[in-house]
Amino acid sequence: MARVKRGVSKTKRRKNILAQTKGYRFDRSKKERIAREAIFHAGSYAFRDRKAKKREFRKLWALRINAAARPLGLSYSKLIGTLKKHGVGLDRKSLAALAKDYPDIFGRVVSQLRQ
């Protein structure tokens, strides 16, 4: 049986690992074993934070809606409750965009709910 030498495949794997850790500091970008561990941790953080990002944005939208609704005499919870009661299909993302970028239109939406 022929002897197997792993020079090419080993180098390819090592280059791939070190390419993924480009920009990391110290041994994390230079040594294969430590770099592999850094990639593993980075992947788990990325997975976790993709979920957290959704929560963060929902909080931000609620904050913006509340800040825009307060001067109009409503709280966030009352506004959302009224929207659901009237069957308005606007979600929090679009409401927050209206509140931030088009406050006059947001005001008209709120005034329509009061009638």
Instruction: Summarize pLDDT for 24-66 with one digit per residue, the tens.
Output: 999 999 999 999 999 999 999 999 999 999 999 999 999 999 9
Query: What's the structural domain count of the chain?
Result: 1
Q: How far is CA 105 from the centre of its chain?
A: 27
The answer to the question of residue 33 being in a domain is: yes
Q: What is the pLDDT of residue 114?
A: 82
Instruction: Summarize pLDDT for 75-86 with one digit per residue, the tens.
Output: 999 999 999 999
Average pLDDT over residues 87-100: 94
Assign residue 83 the CATH number of its domain: 1.10.1900.20
The answer to the question of residue 30 being in a domain is: yes
Pure H helices in the chain: 7-20, 32-69, 76-86, 92-101, 103-114
Q: What is the pLDDT of residue 29?
A: 96
What long-range pairs does 18-21 form, CB within 8 A, spacing at least 24?
A: none
* pLDDT more than 70, % of the chain: 100
Contact 64, 100 (CB under 8 A): yes
